[in-house]
Structure 1
Amino acid sequence: MGSTVSRESPSNRPTFTVHGRLYRILDVIGQGAAATVYRCEDQNGDQYAVKVFDFSPPHRSPTVQRAQNFDKEARILKFMSRRSRHFVYLYDYEYNRHENLGYMIMELGEGSLRDKLVGLPLNDRHRRIYWKQIVAILKDLQNSNVVHADIKPDNIILVNNVLKLTDLGIAFRVATPINTVRRGRIQGTLGTSTYLSYFQYHTVDFFPVISFSDYMAPEVFSHQSGVKSDVWSAGIILYEMTYGSPPFYGIFDRNEKAAAIASGTPILFFPERNRYLVDCMRRCLQPNPYARPNSHHLVAHPYTRM
């Protein structure tokens, strides 16, 4: 049975079905470029998060391609959420061709890691607890030959004090967890600048980066991404948990910031009493991905083992 959306509800809230099971939307949790996440409940009153994708035109990408991306994201999340407790659990999903809507029914969290990062360093205890779990996320990704490619605090939610990764929209599988892989293209928009024009001129089939963030690895801008790119993103989170903001936070023009990251501009590490902490950050934030540790190295690092 297909999914249908109806606004005829006793509470005047929208309802929808996924594989014949009725849900009612309660409120909005978050919104991104590809989908909106709502809090919803089923007929028993059990609450979930539902990620709703609207494939209706107009949109830059064809509907078929976006539907395929939806299915890919759901399949990878289903695979990972059944292998690791550090991935938000996917209960069900369905794409309705007639209404051009897609639904992912997931477990409901209590907020994201972003909510814990308010421009101030975390205390030592919480930083270590979160870092151990982030390393566990990296290990589970690498052991499954999956690259997330968009690790950031907004995509890490807390469920009963457990960090869980979500939003696998640009995640992909690799044959082996090699250091880095070359991708066909990177979709999205960043804007136009001399810097972006340079890459468009010198790189075949390059598309500017989607949702540019402070957590992207330098090699992403040269059209490469892999398990070491996820390590860089984790290192930026550790840096933010330590100092209160990412390394290039003070650069407000995002094209200038992109240029700083892509060129491997040296990162300033302020003095810290814990030398293992600084060493861990330095290793994760090596501009050369081949010089970065993988997840298994991080598991054995003295800071992770503290």
Structure 2
Amino acid sequence: MSEALRRDYQVCEEIGRGRFGTVFRCISVESGDSFACKSIDKIILADDSIDRQCIEGEAKIMHLVSGHSNVVQIFDVYEDDTHLDIILELCSSSDLFDRIADRVFSEAEAAAVMKPLMEAVAHCHRRGVAHRDIKPDNIFFDEWNRLKLGDFGSAECFREGELMSGIVGTPYYVAPEVIAGREYSEKVDVWSAGVILYIMLAGIPPFYGESSMEIFEAVLRANLRFPARIFHSVSTAAKDLLRRMICKDVSRRFTAEQVLRHPWMTSVGETRTEADLT
């Protein structure tokens, strides 16, 4: 970590570890408030120009999307010859990955996650940012149980009508056009969010396999099914929304804004809030 950061913050315990860096809890010397610090060792990235570009762009992208209540906020950046340290909002509650393990959500519970998630995704897309790695591990909750979309290490900026390239994402959640190596739009985020909704309602992913290769092959086939024994109590509206999000035909796949306007999103669980999901 940079010396300047250590002057301003007391660095505490490790709270997370990712592909590009380690996350620590830290305390502001001036205010006493707690934050998260994502510390990236630039030496490790020295021989990988693509990874280095992603990391250097993460802070800039977070400044672009910061300010929305459902996006992890960025507060400061410290950089020296060896480290890039990003000071972020601390999300001290469990992430969505922990919350969906070994349980099935009711439609009201799922809607309470999907609404703020899609609000965050729509906000990013309006700012010209595609997240490109939406998965339960990157969906956090703060101490008041508010959902926060985070980890923009794979994010990319785009202009309206402009396509992106590059294979990024995570098995189970990545869109088929990404795996196929084609150029793609910000709608890859809608596909990923649709997979999360499916998992919350079914308890299993829509496409799976014994290895990453088998998962990718299943995603490429995109044969979306709703087994009766699992979906017997799931509403027609929920399944309709899933078909429109997990849609291989990108031209027919919903945008984030269209997801928010879907009847299931506007009616199911309208009296339920994120704070109910404990």
Question: Under a length normalisation based on structure 1, what TM-score does the superposition of the two structures give?
Answer: 0.79
Equivalent-residue separation in structure 2 for 1:69 and 1:51 (angstroms): 14
Displacement of 1:60: 4.7
Deviations 1:16-50 (A, max 9, x none): x33x7422222121111111111111224321111
TM-score, structure 2 as length reference: 0.86
Deviations 1:243-299 (A, max 9, x none): 1121124x1211111111123234445333421111111111111211101112112
Contact 1:218–1:262, Cα closer than 8 Å, also in 2: yes
Give the counterpart of 2:184 among 205, 225, 246: 225
CA distance in 2, matches of 1:254, 1:298: 28
Residue of structure 1 in register with 2:256 after alignment: 295
Partner in structure 2 of residue 77 of structure 1: 62
Kindly tell me: are residues 66 and 243 of structure 1, through their superposed partners in 2, closer, same or farther at Cα, counting changes over 3 Å? closer
Greater RCO (Cα-Cα under 8 Å, separation 6 or more): 2
The aligned residue for residue 90 of structure 1 is 74
- Pick one of 106, 128, 131 that aligns with 1:145: 128
Answer with 148-157 or 273-282: which moved more.
273-282
Query: Who is 1:163 aligned against?
Result: 147
Match of 1:257 in 2: 215
> Is 2:88 the counterpart of 1:103?
no
- For 1:29 and 1:57, locate their aligned partners in 2 and report how far apart those are by CA, in whole Å: 20
What SS does the corresponding residue of 1:27 show, helix, strand or coil? Answer: strand
Of 203, 207, 221, the residue aligned with 1:244 is: 203
Contact kept, 8 Å, 2:95 with 2:136, in 1: the verdict is yes
Instruction: Give distance in 1, aligned partners of 2:200 and 2:44.
Output: 40
CA contact (8 A) 2:201 2:234 kept: no
SS in structure 2 of the partner of residue 256 of structure 1: helix
Q: Deviations over 1:211-239 (max 9, x none)?
A: x3211000101223322100000000100
What amino acid sits opposite 1:101 in the alignment?
H
> Which runs of 5 or more structure 2 residues have no equivalent in the other structure?
268-278
- Letter of the aligned partner of 1:81 in structure 2? S
Out of 52, 56, 79, the residue aligned to residue 39 of structure 2 is 52
2:20 touches 2:55 (CA, 8 Å); kept in 1? no
The one-letter code of the counterpart of 2:105 is L
* Alignment RMSD: 2.1
Amino acid at match of 2:32: G
Shift of 1:69: 3.0
Note if 1:282 corresponds to 2:268. no
Matched residue, 1:305: 266
Q: Is the 8 A contact 1:50 1:105 kept in 2?
A: yes
The alpha-carbon distance between structure 1 residues 126 and 253, as it changes in their structure 2 partners (threshold 3 A), is same
Aligned residues: 260
Classify the secondary structure of the residue corresponding to 1:103.
strand
Largest Rg, 1 or 2: 1
**Aligned ranges 1:184-223 → 2 under 5 Å:** 185-186=166-167, 209=168, 212-223=170-181
